[in-house]
Amino acid sequence: MATSELKWLDRVLQRWRIAKAGRYIGRDDRVLDVGCADGALFVQLEWIAQGLGIDPDTLDTQVRNIPIRRGDFPRDVPAGEEFDVIAALAVFEHIPPGDQDAFVEACRTLVKSKGRVVLSIPAPVVDHIIAALQLARVLRGMEAEQHWGFDPKATIPLFVSHGFAPQVHRRFQMGLNHLFVFTAP
């Protein structure tokens, strides 16, 4: 997706998600940003010095020497890589139900012991709001047509079943978005 296609409201909501997630990313953390778009997380969180962004709809580039790669998670993450934090902001609702276990297991494989997975997941009602805002042409919605209706209530049981410990679950954006932080075993 070309970043020029993003609307002002898309960017506001994106910055809000990144700010919430940024509270759980330390200065020395090596970060994998799944669904990184144009690397906005690395732009906004200037203290991140090491990492990798991956997205099937981006172009290969860099943000402050952090590579942004076109590719699919986890297949296109280079072998042998490990991260202190895996961020997946507004991504999990795009994962088909049959692939969700594999996504969580890939997180477990790629995150270091005691590392963190930071997710933001919209409430299902957000799909209706996005559709209305797209009709009004004030929001692009970043592949909203690919949402699978994932219920955020299923997040904690899913990650716990793969050995992760829940650390944080907060709602934000007027209760329409959920922030989750899990710690790896």
- Residues 6 or more apart whose Cβ sits within 8 Å of residue 134: 140, 141, 144
Q: What's the rounded Cα separation, in Å, for the pair 35 and 54?
A: 6
CA dihedral 125, 107, 95, 157 (to 10 degrees): -50
- On the 0-12 / 13-18 / 19+ scale of CB atoms within 10 A, 91 is buried
Helix (H) or strand (E) holding 166: strand 165-172
* Domain interval for residue 141: 3-183
β-sheet with 83-89: strand ranges across: 61-63, 66-70, 50-55, 30-34, 83-89, 111-122, 177-183, 165-172
Three-state DSSP state, 55 = strand
What stretches of 126-185 show up as alpha helix (H) in DSSP?
126-135, 155-160
Q: What confidence tens digit (pLDDT) does each residue in 93-124 have? A: 889 999 999 999 999 999 999 999 999 998 87
Q: What confidence tens digit (pLDDT) does each residue in 10-40 have? A: 788 899 999 999 999 999 999 999 999 999 9
- Write the CATH number for 57: 3.40.50.150
| Count of structural domains within the chain | 1
Q: What share of the chain is helix, strand, coil (3-state, %, to 5)?
A: 35, 30, 40
What's the token pair of residue 131? 């559709």
Q: How far apart, in Å, are the Cα atoms of 55 and each of 8, 69, 76, 114, 137?
A: 21, 7, 9, 25, 24
Which pLDDT score, from 0 to 100, does residue 4 have? 47
Which pLDDT score, from 0 to 100, does residue 86 have? 98
Q: Report pTM.
A: 0.88
